[in-house]
Structure 1
Amino acid sequence: MEGGVTETSSAKMHGGYNKRYKHYSHTLGCSMNFHIYFPPSDSTVSHKFPVLYWLSGLSCTDENFIFKSDAQRAASQHGVALIAPDTSPRGLNVEGEADSWDFGVGAGFYLNATQEKWKNWRMYDYVVKELPELLRDNFPQLDTSKASIFGHSMGGHGALTIYLKNLDKYKSVSAFAPIANPTNCPWGQKAFTNYLGGNKSDWEDYDATYLVKKYPNVSTTILIDQGEGDKFLHDQLLPHKFEEACKNGNVPLLLRLQPGYDHSYYFIATFIDDHIRHHAQALKLN
């Protein structure tokens, strides 16, 4: 396959196929893995699938969502291809990259680091620029011009910020338990200090609560599901800060608080069909 993309695994599911690929990322300076779920297709009909990017959370890889969410069932029903990239560069052996689970490896925060030590941590450019170009050039069955984005926790943060900064590239966004105001929570403060430096005004460019004020021209409703039993709700996730900013900016938001649900993939799997349907509607598939 062109572009140095190699298929490393394939498994049939709900009539389609989970396929894992690896390639060398020039943006990140290392080899990267990503998953694609291809829905069932009629070989007699020429048809391209729109793409729905999933961004995973802290300590995850490209595999968690594919293995645990059962999003493939609804993706097959609606004819949407799922794209699941990894969460950070790997194998660079930067000092301190694996000292904690909430920073470094597995914790790229979907930003472009400005500090020299972490110069390879450019997950924003990887997700927004390099990966879509790679898909466009190597997978003719995908229509990368029709794209939406969603994610969980750190990936929910990534989905919201990427969407708000690129309203021309994505038809819709949703999130499960996103880190909605990272400049005001310990996870975000740790990551932003190390990746972006001490100037807190630079942090706002990767904080959905601030970006809503800067890019208020959102026409499609933002969907967020948040478990009320989530132990990270009040000190790390802060969805009500984002909700307040959306109200002030007249940005359409559906924030659903789900009683008893925690931060896990049990929660995600319960409501994943709603999210796939949300994006399929925006992608004009219904």
Structure 2
Amino acid sequence: MDASAALPPAELISSAKVFGGFNRRYKHFSPTLGCSMTFTIYFPPTPQGSSTVPVLYWLSGLTCTDENFIIKSGAQRSASREGIALVAPDTSPRGLNVEGEADSWDFGVGAGFYLNATQDKWKNWRMYDYVVKELPKLLSVNFPNLDISRASISGHSMGGHGALIIYLKNPGAYKSVSAFAPICNPANCPWGQKAFSNYLGTDKSDWEEYDATVLVEKINELSTTILIDQGGDDNFLSNQLLPHSFEAACKRANVPLLMRLQPGYDHSYFFVQTFIDDHICHHAKALKSLF
């Protein structure tokens, strides 16, 4: 179904003031996913002399909902200062009761991997189209104070994977990208192999369409540097995340990358909290260059 067709309106669930702006959570029916979905927006105070604010999409990781980043990251302080809205969608369809969807924490519910599934059983798992097509359209219809033409994207773990592939597959649509501990080479790690084989089938050429390490070598030119922070004490570093594979691919493709290995930090939101201001500033620079 065309996600740009008439979309049901977004319904406000909750609102709370923070750093002069508001966290507001919404629900809506998604034609793309075939179920009700939630998302949260942090609306910063509108900068003086402006009627709209740019958008930073945040994609969360395995087991997360739209609330994890909003509650745990502390990103609102910097977003308020920079005048950037934060948009955090959920991580998968919910409530469809597909057999096996909740059998494990790393697949199914809470583990959409930001792709479009091709296997019939998982046909509703179309988080790529939801994030890239439906959600921006929904925002433009419901929230005229958000300037979706000025957008950047970021994420953590599975969401870092999502941010990287969405940025790389849509040149010019996002002004900048960053990630915390992203799954950089999912075709070669257990999390990715489990998800890809179930969602996409066994043809590994289909997996490459959602693997940042493969996609980055197909890029002709990037206007901004990719920013990645990775904790040095992350338990998933060597077997699941594989950042050095992505770093090597960027070097081969002459793609600008700032890969920061942060000693002592793990995979948690304590790590995200510590460096989130740097990421907000990274995106603000790209977004404000368009004013």
Aligned: 1:106 with 2:113: no
> Given the alignment of the two structures, is residue 254 of structure 1 paired with residue 258 of structure 2, yes or no?
yes
1:167 equivalent in alignment to 2:171: yes
Instruction: Tell me if 1:55 matches 2:59.
Output: yes
Tell me whether 1:282 sits opposite 2:267 in the alignment.
Answer: no
Paired AA for residue 278 in structure 2 = D
What is the letter of the counterpart of residue 175 of structure 1? A
Q: How big is the alpha-carbon RMSD for the aligned residues of Structure 1 and Structure 2?
A: 1.2
**2:219/2:253 contact within 8 Å kept:** no
* CA deviation map 1:35-78 (0-9, x unaligned): 00000126x85510000000000000000000000000000010
The partner residue of 2:230 within 226, 230, 234 is: 226
In structure 2, how many angstroms separate the alpha carbons of the residues matched to 1:163 and 1:69? Answer: 22
In structure 1, stretches of 5+ residues that fail to align are none
Counterpart code for 1:214: K
Q: Does 1:129 find its partner at 2:151?
A: no
Q: Secondary structure at the match of 1:283?
A: helix
Paired with 2:226 and 2:9, the residues of 1 have a C-alpha distance of 36
Shift of 1:216: 3.6
Given that 2:41 and 2:86 are in contact with CA atoms closer than 8 Å, whether structure 1 keeps it comes out as yes
Deviation at 1:245, TM superposition (A): 0.2
Partner residue, 1:147: 151
Q: What pairs with 1:35-114 in structure 2 (closer than 5 Å)?
A: 35-41=40-46, 45-114=49-118
Distance in 1 between residues matched to 2:220 and 2:253, nearest whole Å: 6
Supply the distance in 2 between the matched residues of 1:214 and 1:59 (Cα, whole angstroms). 31
Tell me if the contact between 1:115 and 1:196 (Cα under 8 Å) persists in the aligned partners: yes
* Equivalent in the alignment of 1:212: 216
Q: C-alpha separation between the residues in 1 aligned to 2:33 and 2:8?
A: 15
CA contact (8 A) 1:216 1:250 kept: no
Counterpart of 2:187 in 1: which secondary structure? helix
Q: Tell me, yes or no, if structure 1 residue 266 matches structure 2 residue 276.
A: no
Query: Aligned pair 1:26/2:31, yes or no?
Result: yes
Aligned mates of 2:193, 2:219 — CA distance in 1: 23
1:16 and 2:21 aligned: yes
1:236 to 236, 240, 247: 240
What amino acid does structure 1 have at the position aligned with 2:190?
Answer: P
Q: Sort the Cα spacing of 1:217 and 1:45 in 2 relative to 1 into closer, same or farther, 3 A.
A: closer
The aligned amino acid for 2:37 is M
Q: Secondary structure at the match of 1:31?
A: strand
Structure 1 distance, partners of 2:257, 2:172, is 19
| Residue identity matched to 2:209 | D
Q: Distance in 2 between matches of 1:276 and 1:94?
A: 37
Identify the residue that residue 158 of structure 1 maps to in structure 2.
Answer: 162
In structure 2, stretches of 5+ residues that fail to align are 1-6
Shift, 1:218, TM fit: 1.4
Residues 28, 89 of structure 1: 8 Å contact kept:
yes
Q: TM-score, normalised by structure 1?
A: 0.97
Matched AA of 1:185: C
| Equivalent residues of 2:44, 2:85 under 8 A apart | yes
Q: Distance in 2 between matches of 1:158 and 1:80?
A: 20
What percentage of residue pairs aligned between the two structures are identical? 75
Q: AA paired with 2:21? A: G
Could you say what secondary structure the match of 1:7 adopts? strand
- Once structures 1 and 2 are overlaid, which stretch shifts more, 145-154 or 2-11? 2-11
Partner secondary structure for residue 8 of structure 2: helix
Does 2:120 align with 1:116? yes
Count residues with an aligned counterpart. Answer: 284
Q: Work out whether residues 58 and 88 of structure 2, in 8 Å CA contact, stay in contact via their aligned partners in 1.
A: yes
Q: Distance in 2 between matches of 1:262 and 1:112?
A: 30
